[in-house]
A and B are shown apart, each in its own frame.
Chain A
Amino acid sequence: MLVFAGMFFIIILQLMNLQLFSSKYKIMADDQGKFRKVIYPDRGIVYDRKRRPILQNATIYDLMIIPNKLKGVDTFSLCKILQIDTAQFNKKVVEVIIKNGRSRSSVFDGLLSDEKMAMLNEAMYKFAPGFYLQERPVRSYPYDAGGNILGYLSEVDTNFLKNHKNEGYQTGDYAGKTGMERTYEKVLMGQRGIEYWKRDNKNRLTEKLENGRFDTAAIAGQNMHTSLDIELQMLGEKLMENKLGSIVAINPKTGGIICMVSSPTFKPKFLTGADRKRHIQELLLNPALPLLNRSVGATYSPGSTFKTLQALIGLHEEVITTNTQFSCSGAFYGCGGGHPMRCLDFGTFNLRSAIRVSDNTYFANVMQKVITNPKYPNQDSSLAVWARYMNAFGLGHKLGVDVPSEKRGLIPTPAYYDKIYGKGKWNFCNFRSVSIGQGEVDVTPMQVANEMAYIANKGQYITPHLVDSIEGGDKFNILAQYRQQHSAIDIPDSIFEAVHDGMQGVVDGGTGMAAKVAGINICGKTGTVENYFRGIKQPNHAFFCGFAPRENPQIAIMCVVENSGRFGGTYAAPIVGLLIEKYLKDSITEKPRLDRIEQLSNLNLIPSRIYAALRTQDSLRHVKDSAYLAAKGFIKAMKDTLGMDDEDEKDALDKMKADKETAKKELPARDSSTTKPKVNIEGILPGDKKKPETKDSVKS
């Protein structure tokens, strides 16, 4: 009797141990027996200013397979539709079984193209029940434009998961990687729903746990209305075809971005659907950097477009008046005869005519007067005052645009020159080229467009932004910053009128006549920007910026065509002219203007070094090791520029690595400097910092 009771007592003790004191088994049971299924809500739709959807949702299909139900499937016709042979089919089935097992469904062919889908749909009865089609929501771009603005979705990586803990993301989720998809991820994402399911020993979901008592419903993402004009965007992209560069247009009244072109760009459709991976790899390895949003992510010297700002400072600091005259006898000799800054128009200029013909000597004199202003104790403080003006104009700092990867640019400060020349060992003559927007000054196209809006508004700007309103309210308080006027320095209207006069002169009868549009008073300014790549002088960048109409500014716009050669008026001005016409008149109908569009669009201004880099890349591909190194170095440079992390770039590398495994061994871990000498493609980025002291002046 005792033996019986004793033994049972031991059993009960073990039962207590298992059932009452160890939570391990409960966790293990939940792990294998329950499944937390995330229900993805529809992402928000993005509309342009005329309420046309420019980013919405579409459904494409995955072909799913359940390996243990394959019996009786018409494999032959399936292979025919999928364009694979039986051996490939069998290989794929085996892969799927290894990955997910026999009784679970897995993706056999993901993101089917429309044709395949149509053919499959018709013949699907032959393939059931081993195969079925599963809906999968993707993003669609009805106008297939604005890839750089709208951005794309990408699978989240470990870094992202680490940075966004407790936000409900899990591996395999998609999140906005670039553009608005990234900035407004929270708004567009909506709220995920969660369903709890029971799961069986073969990992199949059987039924909802307790009839869905613990489930939460998914809430769709919020729709957004932007200030973007998709037609203008498309026209801009068309005009920038075969060119490197950028266009930014802003509504000066609201700060709303009307169009933002970065060229080369990419068809956003490429980044959804069947061949997404391949397209991303191509884009990542393209030396022209199509994924870089040049509008905010590339910096250039502003060139002569800077002169308008110099004029504002000069007038407000009262070192010149609108009637002050300087004459140009061939160069600026204010710093002695050593390396005079040339000017091409001989003669004597006042402010208006100096802006009109973009006279270098005039603005060198203006800035010299500002820097040597006796009002301030030394050049240190006067340069600081100058820099403060520039900051107030929106330069030298990030504007806070709602597009990711914005660059801050550069406005030199006394501290900056102290570092280069030593404290007190510099004067105006060291940086005289800054007066005409060369040398140590960098701006982004967005900053220039914003500066035009500032001039158009006569002294104030609203931070440029894409999104005007969010349906259902701005829950994350993102938009408040885009309602605020910025006017740090109070400059009287008369000063602006003088500058406007000069700028109107530029278009009416100066360097920017190519921008002229009949019946519209356009104020503009050209710029022809010297630039260097690895210390070698490259063809000039063409700049044109302006606003229109002068009386009631509706659009402030900036265009840069990289390495176009010639002058800013030659290539950038006509593009701006066409865009202003399109925007203000709503359409371009005249034949000669339409011809002009085609002509400009077909004009190929891609610098030869891009083609050279492409050739190098191709030849490197023959030597796999170097190609791998090159790709790695390139992608790193790319990544630094774009400021983004993407799983896809790893894939691009992995693909190359697979070609030759040994390549990796020779790679010095994470040391890009050692890879640099071998790699010639790494630095094809606009705004290369290695500029020698500017010797020559450039007239525009």
Chain B
Amino acid sequence: MKQRNPEIGKGVDWLLVWLYALLVFIGLLCIFSVEYRSGDSVIQSFLGFKKNYSKQLFYFMACIVLATFILLTDSKLFTATANLSYLIGVLLILATFVVGKEIKGSKSWIPLGFMNLQPVELCKIFASLALAKYLSMQETDFAKPKAQMVAAVLAFSPAALSIMQGETGLALVYFSFLLPMYREGLPPIYLIAGVAMAALLVVSLLFSTKTLLIAFAVLAVLFIYFNRRQVKRNNQLLIATFVIWGFCSLFVGVGIPFTFKHVFKPYQANRIFSMVGVDNPFADKNAVETMSPEEARAKQKKNDQQNYNVKQSKIAIGSGGFFGKGFLKGTQTQGDFVPEQHTDFIFTSVGENFGFIGTTLLILIYLALILRIVVIAERQRSTFSRVYAYCVASIFFFHVTVNVCVTVGLAPVIGITLPLLSYGGSSLLTFTILLFILVKLDADRQMVLR
């Protein structure tokens, strides 16, 4: 063993490992602060495996063992088994349709006895590997639509399956694969179009359809008027303007109402509208009336619950102030006011106990982690490693951003975890594997050209 030890450590990016350990440690502290009540015997409960923090500690130890194993493996294994593991991942997701256990409204869990496993969560790793593998293949020309299509299918099919199980939050994570694809040469038009669509969506939610149709028309006329010289010279500009104008109008006038009425469930629509702070104008009044009272009440309850979560979350964070109330002194945390505080809303305990300083520091630690991964990505000599690193960075980024945005009320409630901080074996395990495969690949970056 003693002779091998230096080999494990060889080439390992220790900064990344320390950042990882720091975050897990902060996570343990936070879970502890959520659960601890004065008078509890700390040592006993840490060893008792009854409290969440002691379980999380156990998961962490398991993760250390796993990480060691990953570092001991030959990095070629990941490339070799990428497609196979992807297949297994998808099969596991499919398996949940048969043996899935329903937790919090989504049937995406496989009970393992000692813990519940969420394959969609794990599949992030496999999808990253598979995508990296595909993009690194010699014959792949990513400029071609066919390659783009294959990549998209690889990236988004687990998401599609996940949506079918009612687990929307995790499915959204798969959108983060757009970023590595962009790095690998996906035309920026996709991203620009995506951002524009998002902007259009928000605008269309905020203003009434009529106002927008008039505004678009006025904008189009003004654009043509101010660019009349160019337009005279270039017919295509005129056509493009008309096409964009037509698309926008259709999108706002037909697409949005249709989507909200027929595609989204009413509660989803309400959730989205409540985020931008307006009432759902497409709420079908008749539908509510024809709904049985129990159904209506259940939906109303769910909706209220969402609003309650966000309100409590904002109260907890907001009451922290600049310096916070001090570790274990948060009244909101100690009073169990924030639901799901040990998992999706763990950020609130940071906000309340450590205040603005704590939250900002945490955000900066995450930024450091992500930027470090990007730095690592850029120094890779193989496409596989680079794509994989970018996948990891964007998955982290997506998780952190969405989770924190939810807790501070910038995004609708989407149930995804804060990486490495939130309580939960599945989540911690996934991020550990994700990160340590990268560490291993990085450690072996000099070895071969993959």
Contacts and interface: CB of A to CB of B under 8 A. Distances in A.
B370 A33 contact: no
B268 interface: no
Contacts of B316: 29
Interface stretch (B103-111, B157-165, B279-287, B330-338): B330-338
A428 to B, nearest CB: 79
A10 B367 CA distance: 13
Nearest to B378: A1
Contacts of A58: none
B335 A19 contact: no
A22 interface: yes
Contacts of B404: 11
Contacts of B37: 206
A207 B334 CA distance: 10
A276 interface: no
Contacts of A7: 397, 401
Given A1-B371, A29-B315, A33-B332, A12 B337 contact: no
A202 B393 CA distance: 41
Interface in B360-416: 360, 363-364, 366-367, 370-371, 374, 393, 397, 400-401, 404-405, 408-410
Contacts of B400: 8
B246 interface: no
Interface stretch (A193-201, A238-246, A310-318, A437-445): A193-201
Interface in A1-32: 1, 3-5, 7-8, 10-12, 14-16, 18-20, 22, 24-26, 28-30, 32
B327 interface: no
A691 B329 CA distance: 74
B367 A206 contact: no
B315 A200 contact: no
B318 A25 contact: yes
A29 B405 contact: no
B359 A32 contact: no
Contacts of A198: 331, 334-335
Nearest to B393: A4
B89 interface: no
B180 interface: no
A33 B335 contact: yes
A14 B360 contact: no
A24 B367 CA distance: 29
Given A4-B371, A19-B321, A207-B38, A33 B337 contact: yes
Contacts of A202: 336
Contact of A4 (B334, B337, B397): B397
A11 B400 CA distance: 10
Interface in A137-194: none
- Tell me if A's interface is mostly helix, strand, loop or mixed: helix
A28 B318 CA distance: 9
B27 interface: no
A34 interface: yes
Given A18-B317, A19-B351, A19-B356, A11 B397 contact: no
A170 to B, nearest CB: 21
B322 interface: yes
- Which range holds the interface residue count of chain B? 35 or more
A4 B314 contact: no
A2 to B, nearest CB: 11
B356 A200 contact: no
A20 B408 CA distance: 13
Contacts of B331: 29-30, 33-34, 198-199, 209
Of B332, B335, B400, chain A has the most CB atoms within 10 Å of the CB of B335
Given A19-B351, A200-B334, A11 B317 contact: no
B319 A29 contact: yes
B100 interface: no
Nearest to B331: A33
Contacts of B366: 8
B419 interface: no
A5 B397 CA distance: 10
B335 A201 contact: yes
A4 to B, nearest CB: 5
B205 to A, nearest CB: 19
Nearest to B317: A18
Nearest to B404: A11
Interface string A108-128: 000000000000000000000
Contacts of A8: 363-364, 366-367, 400-401
A1 B397 CA distance: 11
Contact of A19 (B317, B363, B370, B401): B317
B360 A12 contact: yes
A198 to B, nearest CB: 6
A5 B315 contact: no
A15 B317 contact: yes
Of B37, B337, B371, chain A has the most CB atoms within 10 Å of the CB of B337
Contacts of B355: 19
A573 B317 CA distance: 79
A10 to B, nearest CB: 8
A232 B317 CA distance: 68
Contacts of A20: 321-322, 356
Contacts of B409: 14, 18
A12 B404 CA distance: 10
Contact of A25 (B314, B322, B397): B314
B424 interface: no
Interface string B32-66: 00000110000000000000000000000000000
A12 B38 contact: no
Contact of B370 (A4, A207, A210): A4
B315 A28 contact: yes
Given A7-B401, A11-B405, A201-B336, A25 B363 contact: no
A19 B404 CA distance: 14
A26 B318 contact: yes
B165 to A, nearest CB: 28
A32 B334 CA distance: 12
A646 to B, nearest CB: 38
B119 interface: no
Nearest to B366: A8
B410 A32 contact: no
Given A11-B408, A32-B315, A33-B337, A19 B359 contact: yes
A34 B334 CA distance: 11
A196 to B, nearest CB: 10
B376 to A, nearest CB: 13
B320 interface: yes
Given A33-B331, A198-B335, A206-B334, A26 B321 contact: yes
B201 to A, nearest CB: 18
B356 A16 contact: yes
Given A5-B367, A199-B335, A206-B335, A15 B359 contact: yes
Of A1, A4, A16, chain B has the most CB atoms within 10 Å of the CB of A4
Contacts of A1: 371, 374
Of B315, B317, B366, chain A has the most CB atoms within 10 Å of the CB of B315
Given A25-B314, A32-B335, A198-B331, A14 B319 contact: no
Nearest to A32: B337
Interface in A43-83: none
B35 to A, nearest CB: 13
A15 B314 CA distance: 10
21 contacts: A1-B371, A5-B367, A7-B397, A8-B364, A8-B367, A8-B401, A11-B363, A11-B408, A15-B356, A18-B317, A18-B318, A19-B359, A25-B314, A25-B319, A28-B315, A29-B319, A30-B319, A33-B334, A201-B335, A206-B335, A210-B329
Given A30-B319, A32-B332, 9 more contacts: A4-B370, A7-B401, A14-B409, A15-B408, A18-B314, A22-B318, A25-B317, A29-B318, A206-B334
Interface of A: 1, 3-5, 7-8, 10-12, 14-16, 18-20, 22, 24-26, 28-30, 32-34, 198-202, 206-207, 209-210
Closest 8 interchain pairs by CB? A25-B318, A33-B331, A29-B319, A200-B335, A19-B356, A18-B318, A201-B336, A26-B319
